[in-house]
């Protein structure tokens, strides 16, 4: 029997990890405390990078069909427009910079895709109550009662991770004091999908209000609470009604709306120092918490899950030693620290932590109304892909970066022919050819591309170049000698015949 991988938590991160492992042919058990997908919209902005990963997993289609694409946003001071956000969007991009989609849909689409593999057993309504971790794995006690042994445990059980607590690990960093009231409302209105922010609106003086359209005529309305404001009072339906109705009236939207979900949010910038603890590996909110401003929580968690899962699949198949997972912490913790740096700046702006920051923020807003050069300071610094440096990147640009969107001469996207595993782009010959290859025990796809192809120009590739692409779409190396096996070995992989390392 193949070794057992257990995922704690069936949120977007746990389900992405499970799906990636299943796509690599590995059976997985997911333990999820809730009886079904999450309540409330929670993470609504899904980034282009996440869509690229979901596409590699063969699950992007329902996200794109249901989600609402957007490329722009507007910020106002009072009623005056002070900043217009335009996200990069080139003709060769297969996906918009963002789609808006309620987290419960994201979880449902991932759970459906997991079920369709026949390899993922999701145990809904089971909570991990106790974890005993040892050198060979972890013993889990579930509620309702059951005991489960895991050879590897992926801890994706969210911000209040039981696994983290059971292992006696603590997140390091800081928490911000200011809070936002978060609501979903049902509202019929013809506004396009765009990010809209009002600083100090007449409807709610001193506050900041953010509005995002979601599918099904649902709108996210986030309102900053005043310093010291009573959270319980703010959450009372009649107080929410007064606050939101005043705002809808101010912006000329219909007075008819229904409250669907409410919550209070406080920003944190927290992370574990190390994500791999023996045979227990942390991902998503269980590993780190980043503020919602810049929308990096779910998006960075999806990247964690995929990065971890393809590496763990190699370890399980005996094609990489467990120490290869050190590259997971190296890459994803560095990404987390970058996220924290960017999101901290956004949080200072969206939720200034002290009167001094309020003064500085208001000065920027005021200046931006008259001097366009200050408007860039209002940029919300939305989530983007990271450059990696680790043993799994062999150096030299564009190595360490995700493969850009590029069109092949026949009009197809390069990503459409890449497959979900390792790929090698060979810039030689006079046409396009795709063939499965094997080096030792490791399968990869060889894609031969004419060096005069538009795609080569986009990638800056010259005749004779060989690009080694990782399963997450990152360029691992640009090889001058074309020695794919040598490069994979230098990354720390073993090319011996496939065997289950822990069978
Ligand atoms: C109001 C709000 C808005 C947000 N907006 C965005 C956004 O637009 N974009 C973005 O990228 N991020 C956003 N985020 C952040 C995003 O929601 C989280 O980062 C994301 O949900 C993390 O996913 P996860 O799977 O790690 O954790 P979770 O989504 O919390 O999932 C963890 C799962 O583990 C389960 N679980 C917990 N304990 C146990 C246990 N002991 N046993 C078994 N199961 C357990 C839980 O039931 C849950 O289903 C937002 C968050 C909030 C609160």
Q: How many residues can be counted in the chain?
A: 503
Is 185 part of a structural domain of the chain? Answer: no
Residue 290 Cβ contacting ligand 1 at under 6 Å? no
Q: Are residues 313 and 437 in the same domain?
A: no
Is the pLDDT score of 503 beyond 50?
no
Is 74 part of a structural domain of the chain? Answer: no
Q: How big is the CA angle at 116 (ends 114 and 119), to the nearest 5 degrees?
A: 60
Confidence of residue 2 (pLDDT cuts 50, 70, 90): low
Q: Are residues 393 and 278 in the same domain?
A: no
Pocket test residue of 53, 183, 235, 301 for ligand 1, highest count of atoms within 8 A of CB: 301
Is 290 part of a structural domain of the chain? Answer: yes
Nearest CA to ligand 1 atom 49: 11
Q: Are residues 54 and 169 in the same domain?
A: yes
Mean pLDDT on 375-400: 76
Residue 261 Cβ contacting ligand 1 at under 6 Å? no
CA distance 365 to 371: 10
Evaluate whether 124 touches 14 at the Cβ level (below 8 Å).
Answer: no
CA distance 110 to 46: 14
CA distance 361 to 359: 6
Pocket test residue of 43, 122, 301 for ligand 1, highest count of atoms within 8 A of CB: 43
Supply the mean pLDDT for the chain.
Answer: 92
Evaluate whether 29 touches 1 at the Cβ level (below 8 Å).
Answer: no
Between 304 and 371, name the one with better pLDDT: 304
Is 289 part of a structural domain of the chain? Answer: yes
Q: Are residues 343 and 429 in the same domain?
A: no
Structural domain count, the chain: 2
With H, G, I as helix, E, B as strand and everything else as coil, classify residue 196: strand
Lookup: tokens for 359: 């003064």
Nearest CA to ligand 1 atom 11: 298
Nearest CA to ligand 1 atom 6: 43
As to burial, measured by CB atoms within 10 angstroms (0-12 exposed, 13-18 middle, 19+ buried), residue 432 is: middle
Lookup: tokens for 24: 């690599």
Is the pLDDT score of 498 beyond 80?
no
Pocket test residue of 103, 175, 304, 305 for ligand 1, highest count of atoms within 8 A of CB: 103
CA distance 161 to 157: 5
Question: Of the ranges 64-68, 293-297, 327-331, which one carries the lowest mean pLDDT score?
Answer: 293-297
pLDDT at 499: 53
Nearest CA to ligand 1 atom 48: 11
H or E stretch covering 263 = strand 258-271
Confidence of residue 178 (pLDDT cuts 50, 70, 90): confident
Tell which atom from ligand 1 comes closest to the C-alpha of 285. Answer: 26
Q: Are residues 494 and 403 in the same domain?
A: yes
- The CATH number of whichever domain residue 140 belongs to comes to 3.50.50.60
pLDDT at 497: 62
pLDDT per position as a tens digit, 124-163: 999 999 999 999 999 999 999 889 999 999 999 999 999 9
Evaluate whether 85 touches 195 at the Cβ level (below 8 Å).
Answer: yes
Question: Of the ranges 53-57, 115-119, 251-255, which one carries the lowest mean pLDDT score?
Answer: 251-255
- The CATH number of whichever domain residue 450 belongs to comes to 3.40.30.120
Nearest CA to ligand 1 atom 7: 43
Is 395 part of a structural domain of the chain? Answer: yes
Using alpha carbons, list the distances in angstroms from residue 369 to 201, 205, 376: 14, 18, 12
Q: H helices of 7-130, where?
A: 12-23, 48-56, 60-66, 103-117
Q: Identify the CA nearest to 225 among candidates 190, 173, 182, 284.
A: 182
Q: Which domain holds residue 482?
A: 388-503
Q: Are residues 309 and 403 in the same domain?
A: no
CA distance 340 to 308: 20
Lookup: tokens for 93: 């991009």
Nearest CA to ligand 1 atom 20: 298
Scored b (16 or more CB within 10 A) or e, 256-280 reads ebeebebeebebbbbbbeebbbebb
Q: Are residues 56 and 153 in the same domain?
A: yes
Is 230 part of a structural domain of the chain? Answer: no
Is 45 part of a structural domain of the chain? Answer: yes
Question: Residue 328: which residues within 8 A CB-CB, separation 6 or more?
Answer: 275, 276, 281, 304, 307, 308, 311
Q: Are residues 429 and 498 in the same domain?
A: yes
pTM equals: 0.94
Q: Are residues 410 and 491 in the same domain?
A: yes
CA distance 281 to 275: 6
Is 360 part of a structural domain of the chain? Answer: no
Residue 158 Cβ contacting ligand 1 at under 6 Å? yes
Q: Are residues 343 and 397 in the same domain?
A: no
């Amino acid at each position: 029997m193949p070794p057992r991988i257990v995922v704690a938590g069936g949120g977007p991160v746990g389900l992405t990890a499970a799906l990636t492992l299943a796509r690599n042919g590995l059976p997985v058990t997911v333990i999820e405390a809730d009886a079904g997908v999450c309540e409330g919209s929670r993470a609504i902005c899904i980034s282009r990078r996440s869509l690229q990963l979901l596409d590699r997993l063969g699950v992007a289609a329902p996200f794109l069909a249901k989600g609402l694409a957007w490329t722009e946003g507007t910020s106002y001071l009072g009623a005056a427009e002070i900043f217009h956000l335009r996200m990069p969007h080139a003709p060769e991009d297969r996906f918009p910079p963002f789609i808006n989609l309620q987290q419960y849909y994201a979880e449902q689409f991932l759970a459906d895709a997991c079920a369709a593999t026949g390899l993922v057993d999701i145990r809904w309504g089971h909570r991990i109550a106790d974890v005993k971790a040892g050198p060979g794995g972890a013993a889990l006690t579930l509620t309702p009662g059951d005991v489960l042994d895991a050879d590897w445990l992926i801890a994706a059980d969210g911000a209040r991770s039981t696994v983290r607590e059971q292992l006696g690990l603590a997140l390091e960093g800081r928490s911000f004091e200011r809070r936002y009231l978060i609501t979903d409302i049902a509202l019929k209105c013809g506004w396009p999908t765009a990010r809209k922010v009002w600083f100090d609106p007449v409807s709610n003086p001193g506050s900041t209000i953010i509005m995002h359209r979601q599918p099904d005529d649902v709108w996210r309305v986030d309102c900053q609470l005043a310093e010291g404001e009573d959270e319980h009072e703010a959450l009372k339906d009649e107080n929410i009604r007064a606050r939101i109705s005043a705002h809808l009236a101010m912006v000329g939207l219909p007075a008819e709306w229904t409250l669907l979900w409410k919550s209070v949010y406080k920003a944190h910038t927290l992370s574990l120092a190390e994500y791999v603890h023996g045979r227990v590996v942390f991902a998503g909110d269980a590993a780190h918490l980043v503020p919602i401003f810049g929308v990096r929580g779910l998006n960075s968690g999806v990247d964690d899950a995929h990065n971890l899962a393809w590496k763990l699949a190699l370890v399980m198949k005996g094609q990489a030693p467990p120490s290869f997972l050190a590259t997971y912490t190296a890459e994803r913790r560095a990404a987390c620290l970058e996220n924290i740096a960017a999101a901290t700046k956004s949080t200072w702006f969206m939720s200034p932590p002290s009167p001094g920051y309020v003064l500085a923020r208001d000065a920027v807003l005021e200046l931006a109304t008259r001097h366009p050069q200050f408007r860039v300071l209002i940029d919300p610094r939305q989530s983007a892909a990271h450059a990696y440096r680790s043993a799994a990147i062999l150096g030299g640009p564009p190595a360490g970066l995700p493969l850009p969107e590029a069109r092949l001469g026949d009009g197809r996207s390069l990503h459409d022919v890449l497959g979900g595993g390792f790929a090698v782009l060979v810039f030689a010959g006079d046409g396009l050819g795709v063939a499965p290859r094997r080096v030792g025990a490791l399968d990869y796809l060889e894609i031969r591309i004419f060096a005069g192809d538009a795609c080569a120009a986009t990638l800056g590739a010259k005749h004779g170049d060989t690009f080694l692409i990782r399963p997450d779409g990152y360029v691992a190396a640009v090889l001058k000698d074309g020695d794919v096996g040598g490069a994979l070995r230098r990354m720390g992989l073993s090319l011996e015949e496939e065997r289950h390392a822990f069978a």
